[in-house]
Amino acid sequence: MTSNNLLKQSSPNVVFEWLQGQFKFIVPPVLALGSLLFIWQLLCGGETPPLPPPTKVVTEAWKFIVDPFFDNGGTDKGLGRHIFESLKRVGIGYSGSVVIGISLGILIGTNVLMYRAFDPIFQVLRTVPPLAWLPISSAVFESFKESEVLRMLGTDAVELSAVFVIFITSVWPVLMNTAVGVQQVPQDYRNVAKVLRLSRFEYFTKILVPSAAPYIFTGLRIAIGLSWLAIVAAEMLKGGVGIGFFIWDSYNSGKYSEMIVALFYVGIVGLLLDKVVFYISKFLVQTDS
């Protein structure tokens, strides 16, 4: 009897109800997207539009939409492969900002003199846009073009300058947030440490870092967004594989439909990266509330 009832209850009826519940979350964005596409279609529906309308994008770039992972050699690859290459670069640059940003942040956060000395400089540097770093970075790494060390590392000056742009764009939020987080260790926790006479090392590992963790992760989340933003700038000059280069290349060769599809990919990957860092922080950070 009971199992029958249960069966009845978990019948399509339940699924339908769930769908009904989700309805109000699905319908509005779908409608919004639809109307945006419609407006776009209207705007770009003329004889010689500046951009192709959605219908044309889909037909022209169909190959890129249905198969992200094809590889015809050279730079003629699916968007998935381009993105994968870009992610590798972002991964390296971002790791650099995490390591350097957190350590420098702790240093200037715990030392008032250092903080006073460097904070104004960092405040200026952090507002410099990624694209502006590119010439400097290129100029600097150009001089290492013939370097043996780079060759041994299996990389080259252009590659390195791209990674550097990603790094330099994303390091500031990590650094600044870490510094603030370290400064904001609540007096209560410091009192606990004082009363228990914790050693410097214990204070660092048991109080300071965990207490600054929420701030650090806020920095990391902003940084992952920024480093992904920087990818297009970073790959602008770099030939070969990568979503940033792909966009520039498509533009240069007038393949606007492919360019537009690539933009969607960039957006979705950026969103996913942000979510990944968010869930990691949610898993690691314990706050009071």
Residues that bind another protein (CB under 8 A): 188-189, 191-192, 194-198, 202, 206-207, 210-211, 213, 285-289
3-state secondary structure (DSSP) of residue 246 = helix
Q: Which residues pair with 77 in a beta bridge?
A: 71
Task: Return the number of the residue (119 or 202) whose C-beta is nearest another protein.
Answer: 202
Task: Return the number of the residue (25 or 283) whose C-beta is nearest another protein.
Answer: 283
3-state percent helix, strand, coil for the chain, nearest multiple of 5: 80, 0, 20
Task: Return the number of the residue (7 or 195) whose C-beta is nearest another protein.
Answer: 195
Q: Output the smallest distance, CB 118 to another protein, in A.
A: 28
Task: Return the number of the residue (3 or 286) whose C-beta is nearest another protein.
Answer: 286
Cα(173)–Cα(227) distance, integer angstroms: 11
DSSP element (H, E) containing 218? helix 209-234
Task: Return the number of the residue (56 or 206) whose C-beta is nearest another protein.
Answer: 206
Q: Output the smallest distance, CB 216 to another protein, in A.
A: 13
Q: Output the smallest distance, CB 281 to another protein, in A.
A: 13
Other Cβ atoms within 10 Å of 196 Cβ, number: 12
Cα(273)–Cα(188) distance, integer angstroms: 35
* Longest Cα separation, the chain: 81
Task: Return the number of the residue (100 or 198) whose C-beta is nearest another protein.
Answer: 198
Q: Output the smallest distance, CB 203 to another protein, in A.
A: 11
Residue 54 main-chain phi, psi, to 5 deg: -50, -45
Residue 181 main-chain phi, psi, to 5 deg: -60, -40
Q: Output the smallest distance, CB 204 to another protein, in A.
A: 14
Q: Output the smallest distance, CB 127 to another protein, in A.
A: 33
